[in-house]
């Protein structure tokens, strides 16, 4: 039996010298694993070393490239140019060329900086020679801003100022897709057009109420610091990054991405992206020749181009009868008196400011706009626009045809909510814009202010306001809340409009012509115009005695008889807008310096039995 | 005498000066000076300075903001007989800073600062100091709104 088994038991391979067969296998395993381990480590070390070498090469290449581009374009400071509109606009075309090649490289250094999780911007920045004048490469930009403000308009500037006032040494970074530093918009459709200075399109300076001249820019360039200096600035400061758009927002990661793939993280963020002018569909569909001759008016460059058009063209048509359209019509109308320019204004309503003013006042305003030299076409719905024989032909739905050289479309603003999707922020379906609470907050660490904010007004309800003072008030409030205040929107913002020297008004609250109104008027004297208010002229009080004549006639009859038809029927007064018997809006018509009283009445939110008594508080008969 | 008419939902009243001479019987709610929601003036109810007051313009937020805050705080809390007389250093460093930014702080302030330094008491409260610097410094206390300065807050 033993003999038979022996040949089968012969071991095939005995590699180990261990006592039992299992021990030999263990050693095999141990050697295999050991070899694999050593091989793996060796591979890893080689790869990482290779990467490091490549990284150092790339960094060296980028810095050498920066040196080259720095010598090619010495004045590449995008944001520090005083009249950035001109110079940076011309630089903007050459900019993309050096920017595009480094961008694949640019994405890796920041990624490698953020990968280890250390938010120290300094390593990547100090690796670069402190090239103060070269901009294209993003590694010099801060990768973190404690306060990041998206948008560089009025609301953003107001917030920056508020933050700096309340948080000593705050570092604020404004990112704007415009080439200009923050500026105020109202003069673009008003004061700048009335300036006597022929170089006003360059200087952008205008005269204020008090006679003092100022620039439309909130602050000169020396107020701001360079974005690269932001992190190292001892007392902090406000830096503006121009011509960069924020394209993506990561709310969970508290960071944003720009259109050149730069990532910037933040502690607190403000979205103040404002809006984009709406266009008429008929114009968009009308083709390039028409689009080329259409201005959507909002920015400095639009003002400059429209000024040029007004000097070279024979006929301009403004489509839109609201604030912007009417102001531009009056401004251009005034110009038409000195030149051959024909100014036409057309809109669907029955009169200028038809959605704001009660009908009788809207009609009166329209007459005044016509006096400024504007051909006003009311109840005009545009059907088609075409380009024929070097003219634009606007055909209206009722068949009327208007021929003109240039169109200005002032048909509203589309709030910019591009970031809503990536950020996961709510957009309001009634008013448009980002939906925020009474404290202007959208989410933790994110606030919205200005034209883009649909907020809850404790007194007047949810609304969205597109006026300058609201941008200031909401921007300031957002800045306060970003620095820990937790205050709701409470100080009611106001707005104003001047339509030529004889019609000027200030308004506050909800001023919607569909609401019932009560208007209390006095006869206007020559003193009661915006022009007079500024000039303090003392021309004759011609209408006062006429007021009394008219009034005594009216008393004699029991039924209200129409007064003697004076053209100054609605010279000055106060108009109350009511909602459920409570005053929610007030217009001060050619009556100035009384806004605090109006604000108080709205704040109280009381039902007043006799609004004439309330009107007495305004002393409308006095200056 | 006033007369009125109705045009649809809109009521129009014409009034003479005499009509409005009698005092109004409209009732307004008394304001709470300590209302935290309201826009505060220069000095907060707690006695602290409101650096965010629109009346200061850009003074507290500009490049020389911290120097300005130090100088003005020193002045505000000064208990000396000649108010602010111990604050010369702070005012000097503020002036030095401002001289580095001539287009932000136009150089009319030489006469302003000398009058501050010698009297040390530009006014009983801080607003006098500010109205001087307001007129001297054109650009910084810019009103963002033309009627900003006219609205008492």
| pLDDT 10s digits, A556-566 | 334 443 443 44
Q: Determine, for residues B147 and A494 on separate chains, whether the beta-carbon distance falls below 8 Å.
A: yes
- On whether the CB atoms of residues B42 and B59 are closer than 8 A, the answer is no
The answer to whether the Cβ–Cβ distance between B15 and A604 falls below 8 Å is no
Of the pLDDT bands very low, low, confident and very high (cuts 50, 70, 90), residue B81 is confident
Give the nearest chain A residue to B39 (CA atoms).
A491
Q: How far apart are CA A357 and CA A368, in angstroms?
A: 14
Nearest-CA distance A275 → chain B (Å): 20
Q: Which of A161, A190, A508, A620 would best serve as a mutation to test chain B binding (most B beta carbons within 10 A)?
A: A161
Interchain proximity B9–A516, CB inside 8 Å: yes
pTM over the 0.90 mark: no
Residue A95 reports pLDDT greater than 80: no
What's the start-to-end Cα distance of chain A, in Å? 134
Q: Higher model confidence: residue A50 or residue A200? A: A200
CB distance A235–B66 less than 8 Å? yes
Q: Taking 60 as the threshold, does the pLDDT of residue A87 lie above it?
A: no
Question: Best mutation site among B1, B4, B8, B10 for testing chain A: the one with the most A CBs within 10 Å?
Answer: B10
Q: What is the pLDDT of residues A379-400, one digit of tens each?
A: 999 999 999 999 999 999 999 9
The answer to whether residues A159 and A149 touch, using CB atoms and an 8 Å cutoff, is yes
Whether A525 has a pLDDT exceeding 90, the answer reads no
Contacts of B48 in chain A (CB under 8 A): none
pLDDT > 90: what percent of chain A?
64
A interface mutation test: which of B15, B25, B30 has the most A CBs within 10 A? Answer: B15
Banded pLDDT at A23 (limits 50, 70, 90): low
Q: Which pLDDT score is estimated for B21?
A: 87
Residue recorded with tokens 């109308």? A333
Instruction: Write out residues 130-149 of B within 8 Å (CB-CB) of A.
Output: 138-140, 142, 144-149
- pLDDT single digits (tens) B90-105: 999 999 999 999 888 8
Residues 80-119, chain B: which have Cβ within 8 Å of A? Answer: 101, 103-104
Q: Which residue has the higher pLDDT, A567 or A157?
A: A157
The whole-angstrom distance between A449's CA and the closest CA on chain B is 16
Task: Pick the range with the lowest mean pLDDT from A264-268, A287-291, B101-105.
Answer: B101-105
Whether residue A610 and residue B26 make contact (CB cut-off 8 A), yes or no, is yes
Q: Which of residues 44-73 of B touch A (CB under 8 A)?
A: 51-52, 54, 56, 58, 60-63, 65-66, 69
Per the CB < 8 A criterion, the answer to whether A205 and A217 are in contact is: no
Using a CB-CB cut-off of 8 Å, the residues of chain A touching B7 are 358-360
ipTM over cut 0.90: no
Does the distance separating the beta carbons of A560 and B20 come in below 8 Å?
no
Put simply, the answer to whether B37 touches A487 (Cβ < 8 Å) is: yes
Per residue in A426-461, pLDDT tens? 999 999 999 999 999 999 999 999 999 999 999 999
The closest alpha carbon to A574, from A593, A592, A590, A587, belongs to A587
Whether residue B14 and residue A550 make contact (CB cut-off 8 A), yes or no, is: yes
pLDDT value, residue B148 = 42
- Distance CA(A379)–CA(A385), nearest Å, equals 17
Whether the pLDDT of residue B45 is over 60: the answer is: yes
Nearest chain A Cα to B51, which residue?
A165
Contact A616 B23 (CB under 8 A): yes
The verdict on a CB contact (< 8 Å) between A612 and B8 is no
Q: Where are the beta strands (DSSP E) in A517-563?
A: 517-522
Tokens 């169109």 correspond to: A407
What long-range pairs does A605-608 form, CB within 8 A, spacing at least 24? A605/A459, A606/A582, A606/B27, A606/B28, A606/B29, A607/A581, A607/A582, A608/A583, A608/B26, A608/B27
């Amino acid at each position: 039996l033993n003999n038979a088994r022996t040949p089968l038991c012969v071991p095939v391979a005995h590699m180990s010298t261990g006592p039992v067969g299992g021990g030999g296998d263990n050693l095999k395993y141990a050697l295999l694993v050991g070899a694999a381990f050593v091989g793996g480590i060796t591979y890893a070390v080689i790869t990482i070393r290779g990467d490091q070498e490549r990284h150092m090469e790339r960094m060296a290449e980028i810095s050498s490239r920066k040196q080259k581009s720095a010598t090619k374009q010495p004045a590449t400071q995008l944001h520090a140019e005083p009249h950035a509109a001109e110079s940076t606009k011309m630089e903007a075309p050459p900019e993309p060329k050096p920017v595009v090649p480094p961008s694949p490289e640019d994405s890796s250094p920041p990624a490698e900086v953020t990968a280890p999780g250390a938010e120290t911007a300094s390593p990547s920045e100090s690796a670069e020679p402190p090239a103060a004048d070269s901009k294209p490469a993003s590694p010099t930009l801060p990768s973190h801003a404690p306060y990041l403000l998206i948008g560089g308009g009025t609301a953003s500037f107001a917030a920056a100022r508020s933050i700096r006032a309340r948080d000593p040494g705050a570092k604020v970074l404004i990112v704007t897709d415009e080439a200009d530093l923050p500026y105020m918009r109202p003069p673009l459709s008003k004061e700048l057009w009335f300036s006597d200075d022929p170089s006003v399109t360059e200087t952008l300076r205008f005269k204020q109420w008090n006679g003092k001249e100022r620039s439309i820019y909130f602050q000169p360039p020396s107020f701001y610091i360079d974005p690269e200096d932001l992190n190292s600035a001892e007392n902090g400061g406000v830096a503006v990054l121009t011509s960069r758009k924020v394209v993506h927002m990561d709310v969970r990661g508290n960071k944003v991405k720009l259109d050149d793939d730069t990532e910037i993280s933040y502690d607190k963020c403000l979205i103040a992206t404002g809006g984009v002018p709406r266009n008429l569909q008929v114009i968009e569909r009308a083709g390039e020749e028409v689009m080329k001759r259409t201005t959507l008016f909002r920015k400095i460059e639009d003002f400059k181009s429209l000024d040029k058009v007004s000097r070279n063209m024979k006929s301009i048509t403004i489509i839109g009868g609201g604030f912007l359209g009417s102001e531009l019509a009056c401004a251009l109308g005034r110009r038409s008196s000195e030149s051959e320019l024909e100014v036409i204004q057309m809109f669907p309503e029955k009169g200028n400011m038809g959605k704001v003013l009660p009908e009788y006042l809207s009609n009166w305003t329209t007459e005044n706009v016509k006096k400024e030299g504007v051909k006003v076409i009311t109840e005009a719905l545009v059907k088609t626009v075409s380009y024929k024989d070097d003219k634009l032909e606007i055909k209206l739905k009722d068949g009327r045809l208007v021929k003109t050289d240039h169109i200005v479309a002032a048909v509203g603003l589309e709030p910019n909510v591009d970031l809503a999707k990536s950020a996961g922020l709510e957009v309001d379906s009634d008013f448009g814009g980002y939906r925020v609470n009474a404290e202007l907050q959208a989410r933790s660490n994110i606030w919205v202010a200005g034209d883009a904010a649909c907020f809850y007004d404790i007194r007047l309800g949810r609304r969205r306001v597109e006026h300058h003072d609201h941008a200031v008030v909401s921007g300031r409030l957002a800045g306060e809340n970003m620095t820990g205040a937790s205050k709701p929107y409470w100080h009611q913002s106001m707005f104003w409009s001047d339509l030529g020297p004889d019609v000027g008004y200030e308004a506050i609250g909800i001023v919607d012509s569909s609401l019932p109104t009560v208007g209390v008027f006095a006869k206007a004297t020559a003193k009661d115009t915006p022009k007079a208010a500024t000039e303090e002229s003392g021309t004759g009080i011609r209408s006062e005695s006429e007021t009394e004549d008219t009034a005594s006639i009216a008393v004699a009859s029991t039924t209200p008889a129409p007064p003697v038809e004076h053209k100054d029927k609605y010279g000055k007064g106060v108009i109350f807008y009511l909602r459920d018997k409570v005053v929610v809006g007030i217009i001060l018509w050619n009556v100035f310096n009384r806004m605090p009283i109006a604000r108080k009445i709205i704040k109280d939110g009381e039902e007043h039995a006799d609004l004439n008594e309330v009107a007495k508080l305004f002393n409308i008969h006095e200056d | 005498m006033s007369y009125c008419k109705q045009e649809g939902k809109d009521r129009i009243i014409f009034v003479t000066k005499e009509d409005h001479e009698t005092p109004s019987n409209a009732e307004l709610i008394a304001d709470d000076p300590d209302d935290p929601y309201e826009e505060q003036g220069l000095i907060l109810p707690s006695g602290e300075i409101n650096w965010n007051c629109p009346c200061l313009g850009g003074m507290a937020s500009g490049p020389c903001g911290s120097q300005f805050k130090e100088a003005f705080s020193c002045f505000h809390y000064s208990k000396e007989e000649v108010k602010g007389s111990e604050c010369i250093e702070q005012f000097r460093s503020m002036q030095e800073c401002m001289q580095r930014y001539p287009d932000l702080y136009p150089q009319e302030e030489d006469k302003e600062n000398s009058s501050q330094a010698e009297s040390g008491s530009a006014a009983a409260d801080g607003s006098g100091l500010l109205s001087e610097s307001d007129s001297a410094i054109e650009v910084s206390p810019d009103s963002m709104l033309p009627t900003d300065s006219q609205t008492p807050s």
